[in-house]
Chains A and B, each alone.
Chain A
Amino acid sequence: MIGNQIAGFFSVGTPPAPASNYESIASYTLSGGETSVTFSSIPSTYKHLQVRWSVLNSNANADLGFRLNSDSGNNYTFHGLEGTGSAVSGSNKGTSLSEAYIGIGSGVSSTPGVGVIDLLDYTSTNKYKTFRSLFGYDSNGGGYIILRSSLWLNTSAVNAVSVRVTPGTFSANSSFALYGITGA
Protein backbone atom coordinates (compact mmCIF):
# COMPACT_ATOMS: atom_id res chain seq x y z
CA MET A 1 0.00 0.00 0.00
CA ILE A 2 1.14 3.50 -0.79
CA GLY A 3 0.70 4.62 2.82
CA ASN A 4 3.06 1.97 4.14
CA GLN A 5 5.64 2.80 1.51
CA ILE A 6 5.66 6.48 2.47
CA ALA A 7 5.91 5.62 6.18
CA GLY A 8 9.06 3.64 5.44
CA PHE A 9 10.95 6.81 4.56
CA PHE A 10 10.34 8.50 7.88
CA SER A 11 11.04 7.69 11.50
CA VAL A 12 8.81 5.17 13.18
CA GLY A 13 5.49 6.66 14.20
CA THR A 14 5.31 9.33 11.51
CA PRO A 15 1.98 8.89 9.76
CA PRO A 16 1.82 8.98 5.98
CA ALA A 17 0.39 12.08 4.40
CA PRO A 18 -3.33 11.59 3.64
CA ALA A 19 -4.14 10.91 0.02
CA SER A 20 -6.46 13.21 -1.87
CA ASN A 21 -10.13 12.31 -1.75
CA TYR A 22 -10.94 14.00 -5.08
CA GLU A 23 -10.14 11.82 -8.08
CA SER A 24 -10.72 11.93 -11.80
CA ILE A 25 -12.74 8.99 -13.14
CA ALA A 26 -13.11 9.72 -16.87
CA SER A 27 -13.44 12.54 -19.37
CA TYR A 28 -14.57 13.14 -22.94
CA THR A 29 -13.71 15.85 -25.44
CA LEU A 30 -16.08 15.67 -28.37
CA SER A 31 -15.28 15.98 -32.04
CA GLY A 32 -18.65 17.49 -32.90
CA GLY A 33 -21.96 16.20 -34.21
CA GLU A 34 -22.75 14.05 -31.20
CA THR A 35 -26.08 14.27 -29.48
CA SER A 36 -25.12 12.50 -26.27
CA VAL A 37 -22.23 11.27 -24.17
CA THR A 38 -22.22 8.58 -21.51
CA PHE A 39 -20.04 7.73 -18.54
CA SER A 40 -20.60 4.06 -17.93
CA SER A 41 -19.29 1.45 -15.52
CA ILE A 42 -18.84 4.10 -12.84
CA PRO A 43 -17.00 2.51 -9.92
CA SER A 44 -18.94 2.20 -6.69
CA THR A 45 -15.90 3.04 -4.59
CA TYR A 46 -16.59 6.75 -4.17
CA LYS A 47 -19.17 8.54 -2.05
CA HIS A 48 -20.03 11.46 -4.31
CA LEU A 49 -19.76 12.34 -7.97
CA GLN A 50 -19.07 15.65 -9.64
CA VAL A 51 -19.53 16.35 -13.32
CA ARG A 52 -17.77 19.40 -14.77
CA TRP A 53 -18.73 20.36 -18.30
CA SER A 54 -18.02 22.96 -20.95
CA VAL A 55 -20.24 22.75 -24.03
CA LEU A 56 -20.42 24.24 -27.48
CA ASN A 57 -23.52 23.32 -29.43
CA SER A 58 -25.58 24.02 -32.51
CA ASN A 59 -28.83 25.45 -31.18
CA ALA A 60 -29.51 28.49 -29.05
CA ASN A 61 -30.44 27.75 -25.44
CA ALA A 62 -30.43 24.04 -25.93
CA ASP A 63 -31.16 21.94 -22.87
CA LEU A 64 -28.68 19.47 -21.48
CA GLY A 65 -30.61 16.52 -20.13
CA PHE A 66 -28.95 14.15 -17.71
CA ARG A 67 -30.03 10.58 -17.16
CA LEU A 68 -28.80 8.03 -14.66
CA ASN A 69 -28.34 4.34 -15.43
CA SER A 70 -29.85 4.92 -18.89
CA ASP A 71 -33.27 5.43 -17.34
CA SER A 72 -35.39 7.28 -19.91
CA GLY A 73 -38.65 6.81 -18.00
CA ASN A 74 -40.54 9.74 -16.53
CA ASN A 75 -38.54 9.58 -13.34
CA TYR A 76 -36.96 13.00 -13.09
CA THR A 77 -37.91 16.39 -11.71
CA PHE A 78 -36.25 19.76 -11.51
CA HIS A 79 -36.63 23.07 -9.70
CA GLY A 80 -34.56 26.17 -10.23
CA LEU A 81 -33.51 29.74 -9.53
CA GLU A 82 -32.63 31.58 -12.72
CA GLY A 83 -31.19 34.93 -13.66
CA THR A 84 -31.60 36.10 -17.23
CA GLY A 85 -29.70 39.36 -16.95
CA SER A 86 -32.89 41.33 -16.47
CA ALA A 87 -35.24 39.07 -14.56
CA VAL A 88 -35.19 36.39 -11.90
CA SER A 89 -37.45 33.40 -11.60
CA GLY A 90 -37.68 30.55 -9.17
CA SER A 91 -40.34 27.93 -9.33
CA ASN A 92 -41.30 24.38 -10.03
CA LYS A 93 -39.84 23.62 -13.38
CA GLY A 94 -41.11 20.14 -13.93
CA THR A 95 -41.97 16.75 -12.55
CA SER A 96 -42.31 13.32 -14.13
CA LEU A 97 -39.80 14.19 -16.81
CA SER A 98 -37.72 11.80 -18.87
CA GLU A 99 -34.43 13.50 -17.97
CA ALA A 100 -32.96 16.07 -15.59
CA TYR A 101 -32.57 19.41 -17.35
CA ILE A 102 -29.58 20.73 -15.47
CA GLY A 103 -27.50 22.31 -18.18
CA ILE A 104 -27.72 24.74 -21.08
CA GLY A 105 -25.85 25.31 -24.30
CA SER A 106 -25.55 28.78 -25.76
CA GLY A 107 -25.58 27.83 -29.42
CA VAL A 108 -23.30 30.84 -29.98
CA SER A 109 -20.04 30.35 -31.82
CA SER A 110 -17.02 29.87 -29.57
CA THR A 111 -19.12 30.62 -26.47
CA PRO A 112 -19.23 27.73 -24.03
CA GLY A 113 -22.03 26.97 -21.63
CA VAL A 114 -20.51 25.56 -18.45
CA GLY A 115 -21.63 23.83 -15.31
CA VAL A 116 -20.70 21.92 -12.20
CA ILE A 117 -23.05 19.19 -10.99
CA ASP A 118 -22.81 17.49 -7.62
CA LEU A 119 -24.44 14.18 -6.80
CA LEU A 120 -24.07 13.04 -3.17
CA ASP A 121 -24.28 9.45 -1.93
CA TYR A 122 -24.67 8.12 -5.46
CA THR A 123 -24.30 4.51 -4.35
CA SER A 124 -26.90 4.69 -1.58
CA THR A 125 -29.79 2.30 -2.03
CA ASN A 126 -31.75 4.16 0.63
CA LYS A 127 -32.01 7.39 -1.32
CA TYR A 128 -33.41 8.78 -4.50
CA LYS A 129 -30.65 10.78 -6.18
CA THR A 130 -30.64 14.57 -5.89
CA PHE A 131 -28.54 16.65 -8.25
CA ARG A 132 -27.36 20.15 -7.40
CA SER A 133 -26.07 22.22 -10.29
CA LEU A 134 -24.78 25.73 -10.97
CA PHE A 135 -24.55 26.46 -14.66
CA GLY A 136 -24.99 28.99 -17.41
CA TYR A 137 -23.53 30.96 -20.22
CA ASP A 138 -22.94 34.57 -21.12
CA SER A 139 -22.84 35.70 -24.72
CA ASN A 140 -22.23 39.44 -24.31
CA GLY A 141 -25.85 40.41 -24.51
CA GLY A 142 -27.51 37.13 -23.67
CA GLY A 143 -27.25 34.29 -21.25
CA TYR A 144 -28.44 32.69 -18.06
CA ILE A 145 -27.04 31.94 -14.60
CA ILE A 146 -28.96 29.10 -12.98
CA LEU A 147 -28.99 27.14 -9.74
CA ARG A 148 -31.00 24.04 -10.34
CA SER A 149 -31.84 20.87 -8.45
CA SER A 150 -33.10 17.65 -9.92
CA LEU A 151 -34.32 14.33 -8.61
CA TRP A 152 -34.02 10.82 -10.02
CA LEU A 153 -36.77 8.79 -8.38
CA ASN A 154 -34.79 5.59 -8.03
CA THR A 155 -32.85 4.14 -5.13
CA SER A 156 -30.45 2.17 -7.31
CA ALA A 157 -26.78 2.86 -7.06
CA VAL A 158 -25.68 5.01 -9.97
CA ASN A 159 -23.43 3.23 -12.44
CA ALA A 160 -23.89 5.44 -15.51
CA VAL A 161 -24.41 9.12 -16.26
CA SER A 162 -25.46 10.27 -19.71
CA VAL A 163 -25.95 13.76 -21.12
CA ARG A 164 -28.08 14.60 -24.12
CA VAL A 165 -28.39 17.94 -25.92
CA THR A 166 -31.82 18.92 -27.19
CA PRO A 167 -32.32 20.24 -29.82
CA GLY A 168 -29.34 19.96 -32.10
CA THR A 169 -25.88 18.56 -31.50
CA PHE A 170 -22.75 19.12 -29.50
CA SER A 171 -19.96 20.94 -31.30
CA ALA A 172 -16.26 20.14 -31.35
CA ASN A 173 -14.29 20.81 -28.16
CA SER A 174 -17.26 20.22 -25.87
CA SER A 175 -15.90 18.49 -22.81
CA PHE A 176 -17.28 16.50 -19.91
CA ALA A 177 -15.31 15.27 -16.93
CA LEU A 178 -16.46 12.95 -14.16
CA TYR A 179 -14.84 13.04 -10.73
CA GLY A 180 -15.29 10.88 -7.68
CA ILE A 181 -14.98 12.03 -4.10
CA THR A 182 -14.20 9.37 -1.57
CA GLY A 183 -15.26 9.24 2.03
CA ALA A 184 -15.38 6.90 4.96
Chain B
Amino acid sequence: MLCDDGRVGGVARGSEPDTARGRSWSTSLLDTITAEGLDPAYRVAADRRSVGGRSGHRRSGAAAGAALAVIGLLFATAAAQVRASAPAEARTRAALVDRIERRTAETDALQSRVAGLRAEVARARDQVLALTAMGAQAAENLQRLEQAAAVTPVEGPGVTVTVDDAPADEQPLGTEPGTPPAAELSRILDVDLQKIVNALWAAGAEAVAVDGQRLSALTAIRSAGEAILVDYRPISPPYTVSAVADPALLEPRFVDGPAGRELRTLAEVYGIRYDVTPVERIRLPGASGVTLRFARVVGAGS
Protein backbone atom coordinates (compact mmCIF):
# COMPACT_ATOMS: atom_id res chain seq x y z
CA MET B 1 0.00 0.00 0.00
CA LEU B 2 1.10 3.50 -0.53
CA CYS B 3 2.90 4.79 2.53
CA ASP B 4 5.06 7.78 2.10
CA ASP B 5 7.28 7.81 5.11
CA GLY B 6 9.95 5.50 3.90
CA ARG B 7 8.27 2.22 4.59
CA VAL B 8 7.93 -0.31 1.81
CA GLY B 9 5.34 -3.03 2.00
CA GLY B 10 4.60 -2.21 5.59
CA VAL B 11 8.03 -3.23 6.89
CA ALA B 12 10.38 -0.54 8.13
CA ARG B 13 13.50 -0.35 6.04
CA GLY B 14 16.73 -0.71 7.93
CA SER B 15 15.18 0.08 11.28
CA GLU B 16 14.13 -3.37 12.51
CA PRO B 17 14.87 -3.72 16.19
CA ASP B 18 16.60 -6.92 17.22
CA THR B 19 13.50 -8.22 18.91
CA ALA B 20 11.57 -7.99 15.63
CA ARG B 21 14.11 -10.18 13.87
CA GLY B 22 13.44 -12.88 16.42
CA ARG B 23 9.77 -13.01 15.38
CA SER B 24 8.59 -14.65 12.19
CA TRP B 25 8.36 -12.61 9.04
CA SER B 26 4.64 -12.98 8.61
CA THR B 27 3.86 -12.01 12.19
CA SER B 28 5.70 -8.72 11.95
CA LEU B 29 4.05 -7.97 8.61
CA LEU B 30 0.59 -8.53 10.06
CA ASP B 31 1.48 -6.50 13.14
CA THR B 32 2.52 -3.62 10.96
CA ILE B 33 -0.58 -3.77 8.83
CA THR B 34 -2.92 -3.87 11.78
CA ALA B 35 -0.96 -1.34 13.82
CA GLU B 36 -0.92 1.43 11.27
CA GLY B 37 -4.40 1.28 9.91
CA LEU B 38 -4.28 4.98 9.57
CA ASP B 39 -2.32 6.34 6.68
CA PRO B 40 0.84 7.79 8.30
CA ALA B 41 0.60 10.63 5.83
CA TYR B 42 -2.13 12.17 7.99
CA ARG B 43 0.17 12.24 10.98
CA VAL B 44 3.03 13.66 8.93
CA ALA B 45 0.86 16.36 7.39
CA ALA B 46 -0.58 17.28 10.80
CA ASP B 47 2.92 17.53 12.26
CA ARG B 48 3.98 19.67 9.38
CA ARG B 49 1.02 21.93 9.85
CA SER B 50 1.53 22.28 13.59
CA VAL B 51 5.17 23.16 12.92
CA GLY B 52 3.94 25.80 10.52
CA GLY B 53 1.74 27.16 13.27
CA ARG B 54 -1.63 26.49 11.72
CA SER B 55 -4.56 24.70 13.28
CA GLY B 56 -4.45 21.00 14.06
CA HIS B 57 -6.53 19.95 11.15
CA ARG B 58 -7.91 21.53 8.06
CA ARG B 59 -11.60 21.68 7.79
CA SER B 60 -12.66 19.55 4.91
CA GLY B 61 -12.37 21.65 1.81
CA ALA B 62 -13.64 21.45 -1.71
CA ALA B 63 -11.06 18.89 -2.69
CA ALA B 64 -12.29 16.43 -0.11
CA GLY B 65 -15.86 17.13 -1.14
CA ALA B 66 -15.06 16.46 -4.77
CA ALA B 67 -13.21 13.26 -3.91
CA LEU B 68 -16.13 12.12 -1.81
CA ALA B 69 -18.49 12.87 -4.67
CA VAL B 70 -16.44 10.63 -6.92
CA ILE B 71 -16.45 7.97 -4.24
CA GLY B 72 -20.18 8.23 -3.93
CA LEU B 73 -20.53 7.87 -7.67
CA LEU B 74 -18.29 4.82 -7.57
CA PHE B 75 -20.31 3.17 -4.81
CA ALA B 76 -23.60 3.85 -6.50
CA THR B 77 -22.39 2.54 -9.83
CA ALA B 78 -20.97 -0.62 -8.33
CA ALA B 79 -24.10 -1.19 -6.29
CA ALA B 80 -26.34 -0.64 -9.27
CA GLN B 81 -24.30 -3.05 -11.34
CA VAL B 82 -24.36 -5.70 -8.66
CA ARG B 83 -28.09 -5.36 -8.24
CA ALA B 84 -28.57 -5.60 -11.97
CA SER B 85 -26.49 -8.70 -12.49
CA ALA B 86 -25.99 -10.60 -9.25
CA PRO B 87 -29.53 -11.15 -8.06
CA ALA B 88 -30.48 -12.13 -11.56
CA GLU B 89 -27.38 -14.28 -11.77
CA ALA B 90 -27.73 -15.78 -8.33
CA ARG B 91 -31.41 -16.26 -8.80
CA THR B 92 -30.96 -17.75 -12.22
CA ARG B 93 -28.16 -20.03 -11.20
CA ALA B 94 -29.75 -21.34 -8.05
CA ALA B 95 -33.04 -21.66 -9.85
CA LEU B 96 -31.35 -23.50 -12.71
CA VAL B 97 -29.69 -26.03 -10.47
CA ASP B 98 -32.94 -26.52 -8.62
CA ARG B 99 -34.87 -27.01 -11.83
CA ILE B 100 -32.29 -29.41 -13.16
CA GLU B 101 -32.55 -31.54 -10.07
CA ARG B 102 -36.31 -31.51 -10.16
CA ARG B 103 -36.47 -32.18 -13.87
CA THR B 104 -34.07 -35.09 -13.48
CA ALA B 105 -36.32 -36.60 -10.84
CA GLU B 106 -39.31 -36.01 -13.11
CA THR B 107 -37.72 -37.72 -16.08
CA ASP B 108 -36.67 -40.62 -13.93
CA ALA B 109 -40.25 -41.04 -12.79
CA LEU B 110 -41.42 -40.72 -16.39
CA GLN B 111 -38.93 -43.31 -17.46
CA SER B 112 -40.22 -45.88 -15.01
CA ARG B 113 -43.79 -45.05 -15.99
CA VAL B 114 -42.96 -45.59 -19.65
CA ALA B 115 -41.26 -48.85 -18.81
CA GLY B 116 -44.35 -49.99 -16.93
CA LEU B 117 -46.65 -48.95 -19.77
CA ARG B 118 -44.52 -50.73 -22.28
CA ALA B 119 -44.79 -53.91 -20.27
CA GLU B 120 -48.56 -53.51 -20.07
CA VAL B 121 -48.88 -52.97 -23.80
CA ALA B 122 -46.63 -55.93 -24.50
CA ARG B 123 -48.74 -58.13 -22.24
CA ALA B 124 -52.02 -57.02 -23.75
CA ARG B 125 -50.64 -57.38 -27.24
CA ASP B 126 -49.24 -60.83 -26.63
CA GLN B 127 -52.50 -61.96 -25.09
CA VAL B 128 -54.37 -60.92 -28.21
CA LEU B 129 -51.79 -62.37 -30.55
CA ALA B 130 -51.55 -65.67 -28.74
CA LEU B 131 -54.99 -66.42 -30.08
CA THR B 132 -53.66 -66.94 -33.60
CA ALA B 133 -50.60 -68.83 -34.81
CA MET B 134 -49.50 -65.98 -37.03
CA GLY B 135 -49.83 -63.58 -34.17
CA ALA B 136 -47.76 -65.74 -31.87
CA GLN B 137 -44.98 -65.96 -34.44
CA ALA B 138 -45.04 -62.20 -34.93
CA ALA B 139 -44.80 -61.71 -31.18
CA GLU B 140 -41.80 -63.98 -30.98
CA ASN B 141 -40.01 -62.18 -33.82
CA LEU B 142 -40.66 -58.92 -32.10
CA GLN B 143 -39.12 -60.17 -28.90
CA ARG B 144 -35.89 -60.96 -30.68
CA LEU B 145 -35.84 -57.53 -32.27
CA GLU B 146 -36.49 -55.91 -28.93
CA GLN B 147 -33.50 -57.63 -27.46
CA ALA B 148 -31.29 -56.60 -30.36
CA ALA B 149 -32.40 -52.98 -30.09
CA ALA B 150 -31.79 -52.92 -26.31
CA VAL B 151 -35.28 -51.78 -25.38
CA THR B 152 -36.11 -54.60 -23.01
CA PRO B 153 -34.45 -55.27 -19.68
CA VAL B 154 -31.96 -58.10 -19.57
CA GLU B 155 -30.12 -59.96 -16.91
CA GLY B 156 -27.17 -62.28 -16.89
CA PRO B 157 -23.58 -62.64 -15.78
CA GLY B 158 -21.23 -59.83 -16.56
CA VAL B 159 -18.68 -57.30 -15.50
CA THR B 160 -18.90 -53.97 -13.72
CA VAL B 161 -16.33 -51.26 -14.40
CA THR B 162 -16.36 -48.48 -11.83
CA VAL B 163 -14.35 -45.31 -12.39
CA ASP B 164 -14.03 -42.25 -10.22
CA ASP B 165 -12.22 -38.92 -10.35
CA ALA B 166 -8.91 -38.61 -8.57
CA PRO B 167 -9.38 -37.78 -4.90
CA ALA B 168 -9.25 -34.05 -4.32
CA ASP B 169 -6.08 -34.10 -2.31
CA GLU B 170 -4.00 -35.99 -4.83
CA GLN B 171 -1.80 -34.06 -7.19
CA PRO B 172 -1.29 -35.66 -10.58
CA LEU B 173 2.27 -36.75 -11.19
CA GLY B 174 4.32 -34.52 -13.40
CA THR B 175 2.92 -31.24 -12.24
CA GLU B 176 5.24 -28.95 -10.39
CA PRO B 177 4.30 -27.92 -6.89
CA GLY B 178 2.95 -24.44 -6.95
CA THR B 179 1.25 -24.75 -10.32
CA PRO B 180 -2.51 -25.10 -10.24
CA PRO B 181 -3.44 -28.80 -10.20
CA ALA B 182 -4.52 -30.17 -13.56
CA ALA B 183 -8.09 -30.44 -12.37
CA GLU B 184 -9.31 -31.14 -15.86
CA LEU B 185 -7.17 -34.21 -16.23
CA SER B 186 -7.90 -35.75 -12.84
CA ARG B 187 -11.59 -35.88 -13.70
CA ILE B 188 -13.23 -38.59 -15.69
CA LEU B 189 -14.25 -37.15 -19.05
CA ASP B 190 -16.93 -38.26 -21.45
CA VAL B 191 -14.28 -39.62 -23.81
CA ASP B 192 -13.05 -41.91 -21.04
CA LEU B 193 -16.50 -43.39 -20.58
CA GLN B 194 -16.92 -43.67 -24.35
CA LYS B 195 -13.69 -45.61 -24.63
CA ILE B 196 -14.64 -47.94 -21.78
CA VAL B 197 -18.01 -48.65 -23.36
CA ASN B 198 -16.39 -49.14 -26.77
CA ALA B 199 -13.90 -51.59 -25.32
CA LEU B 200 -16.66 -53.56 -23.62
CA TRP B 201 -18.56 -53.89 -26.89
CA ALA B 202 -15.36 -54.88 -28.68
CA ALA B 203 -14.72 -57.51 -26.05
CA GLY B 204 -18.07 -59.14 -26.71
CA ALA B 205 -20.57 -57.50 -24.36
CA GLU B 206 -24.21 -58.19 -25.19
CA ALA B 207 -25.74 -55.30 -23.23
CA VAL B 208 -24.15 -52.23 -21.66
CA ALA B 209 -25.49 -49.59 -19.29
CA VAL B 210 -23.83 -46.51 -17.76
CA ASP B 211 -25.05 -45.52 -14.30
CA GLY B 212 -28.27 -47.39 -14.92
CA GLN B 213 -28.93 -45.92 -18.38
CA ARG B 214 -29.08 -48.63 -21.00
CA LEU B 215 -27.21 -47.81 -24.19
CA SER B 216 -29.11 -48.06 -27.44
CA ALA B 217 -28.28 -46.98 -30.98
CA LEU B 218 -29.54 -43.51 -30.08
CA THR B 219 -27.71 -43.06 -26.78
CA ALA B 220 -24.87 -40.55 -26.68
CA ILE B 221 -22.34 -39.99 -23.91
CA ARG B 222 -21.16 -36.41 -23.88
CA SER B 223 -20.23 -33.67 -21.47
CA ALA B 224 -21.60 -30.22 -20.75
CA GLY B 225 -19.03 -28.32 -18.75
CA GLU B 226 -18.04 -30.58 -15.89
CA ALA B 227 -21.10 -32.78 -15.93
CA ILE B 228 -21.35 -35.89 -18.07
CA LEU B 229 -24.68 -36.64 -19.69
CA VAL B 230 -25.84 -40.04 -20.82
CA ASP B 231 -28.92 -39.94 -23.01
CA TYR B 232 -29.34 -36.26 -22.05
CA ARG B 233 -29.41 -37.09 -18.37
CA PRO B 234 -26.64 -35.74 -16.08
CA ILE B 235 -24.76 -38.31 -14.03
CA SER B 236 -22.21 -37.84 -11.30
CA PRO B 237 -19.11 -39.74 -10.21
CA PRO B 238 -18.39 -42.51 -9.37
CA TYR B 239 -19.47 -43.86 -12.72
CA THR B 240 -20.59 -47.47 -13.07
CA VAL B 241 -20.45 -49.15 -16.45
CA SER B 242 -22.16 -52.54 -16.42
CA ALA B 243 -21.98 -55.10 -19.20
CA VAL B 244 -23.63 -58.48 -19.62
CA ALA B 245 -21.38 -61.08 -21.21
CA ASP B 246 -19.31 -64.10 -20.40
CA PRO B 247 -17.21 -62.75 -17.55
CA ALA B 248 -14.48 -65.30 -18.13
CA LEU B 249 -13.89 -63.85 -21.59
CA LEU B 250 -14.94 -60.25 -21.11
CA GLU B 251 -12.84 -59.31 -18.15
CA PRO B 252 -9.44 -60.38 -19.51
CA ARG B 253 -10.21 -59.00 -22.98
CA PHE B 254 -11.16 -55.64 -21.49
CA VAL B 255 -8.30 -55.45 -18.99
CA ASP B 256 -5.67 -56.43 -21.56
CA GLY B 257 -7.09 -54.27 -24.30
CA PRO B 258 -6.40 -50.60 -25.06
CA ALA B 259 -9.06 -49.33 -22.66
CA GLY B 260 -7.67 -51.34 -19.78
CA ARG B 261 -4.19 -50.06 -20.53
CA GLU B 262 -5.45 -46.50 -20.73
CA LEU B 263 -7.23 -46.82 -17.40
CA ARG B 264 -4.04 -48.03 -15.80
CA THR B 265 -2.11 -45.10 -17.26
CA LEU B 266 -4.73 -42.63 -16.12
CA ALA B 267 -4.62 -44.13 -12.65
CA GLU B 268 -0.85 -43.87 -12.46
CA VAL B 269 -0.46 -40.41 -13.88
CA TYR B 270 -3.63 -38.63 -12.77
CA GLY B 271 -4.74 -40.67 -9.81
CA ILE B 272 -8.04 -41.74 -11.33
CA ARG B 273 -9.54 -44.67 -9.49
CA TYR B 274 -11.03 -47.63 -11.30
CA ASP B 275 -12.20 -51.11 -10.57
CA VAL B 276 -13.16 -54.04 -12.83
CA THR B 277 -15.27 -56.68 -11.13
CA PRO B 278 -16.98 -59.76 -12.55
CA VAL B 279 -20.56 -60.11 -11.34
CA GLU B 280 -22.65 -63.24 -11.25
CA ARG B 281 -25.91 -61.57 -12.12
CA ILE B 282 -26.54 -58.08 -13.43
CA ARG B 283 -29.91 -56.68 -14.35
CA LEU B 284 -29.95 -53.88 -16.88
CA PRO B 285 -33.09 -51.89 -17.65
CA GLY B 286 -34.32 -51.33 -21.17
CA ALA B 287 -33.45 -48.17 -23.07
CA SER B 288 -36.13 -45.54 -23.02
CA GLY B 289 -37.19 -42.85 -25.41
CA VAL B 290 -36.88 -44.74 -28.65
CA THR B 291 -39.01 -42.68 -30.96
CA LEU B 292 -37.70 -42.01 -34.43
CA ARG B 293 -38.60 -38.68 -35.91
CA PHE B 294 -36.83 -38.77 -39.26
CA ALA B 295 -35.92 -42.31 -40.14
CA ARG B 296 -38.61 -44.41 -41.80
CA VAL B 297 -38.53 -47.89 -43.16
CA VAL B 298 -38.03 -48.04 -46.91
CA GLY B 299 -41.31 -48.68 -48.60
CA ALA B 300 -43.42 -47.70 -45.61
CA GLY B 301 -46.01 -44.94 -45.77
CA SER B 302 -45.21 -41.42 -44.53
Partners in one complex: no
> Which residues in B have some Cβ–Cβ distance to A below 8 Å?
none
> Which residues in A have some Cβ–Cβ distance to B below 8 Å?
none
